[in-house]
Amino acid sequence: METMKFRVYYALGSSSLSAKAKNVISEAYEEIASSLSANAKVTVKVTGWVQPTNSSPNIRQLSRGRAQAVVDYLKSLGLEAEYKITAPGEAKSNSAKSRRASVVVTWSNS
């Protein structure tokens, strides 16, 4: 079983992927895809986080949207996997690093 973890960061109040975010996802995808066999079993877990602020009206929606954006982009690149999204909402830390999607990809080539 192999594992890769990476994070994708977002602008305040946004669930749109920036060019930099797409690049992070694409690089991870290429590394993963190069090590997959034809019958590989892949699982992708994406957790969307929101920076806690006083002006975050749609926290759950934003949290889920960030995770979904990563899933949609990985699918568009051609990664066939079992996708799992969690959207807990606000992160603990009130910083720009809290505006993210945390991604864990595991795969087995057996």
Residues ≥6 apart with Cβ < 8 Å to 26: 77
SS3 of 24-74: HHHHHHHHHHCCCCCCCEEEEEEEEEECCCCCCCCHHHHHHHHHHHHHHHH
Tell me, what's the pLDDT at 98? 95
Convert the pLDDT of each residue in 16-42 to its tens digit.
999 999 999 999 999 999 999 989 999
Tell me, what's the pLDDT at 54? 72
Q: For the whole model, what pTM was predicted?
A: 0.94
Answer whether 98's CB lies under 8 Å from 51's CB: yes
- Domain with 55, as residue range(s), is 2-108
Tell me, what's the pLDDT at 68? 98
Identify the helix (H) or strand (E) that includes residue 19.
helix 19-33
Among 63, 52, 48, residue whose Cα is nearest residue 96:
52
Convert the pLDDT of each residue in 41-96 to its tens digit.
999 999 999 998 776 668 999 999 999 999 999 999 999 999 999 999 999 999 99
Q: Domain containing 17 — which CATH number?
A: 3.30.1330.60
Give the separation between CA 42 and CA 82, rounded to whole angstroms.
6
Answer whether 45's CB lies under 8 Å from 71's CB: no
The number of domains in the chain is: 1
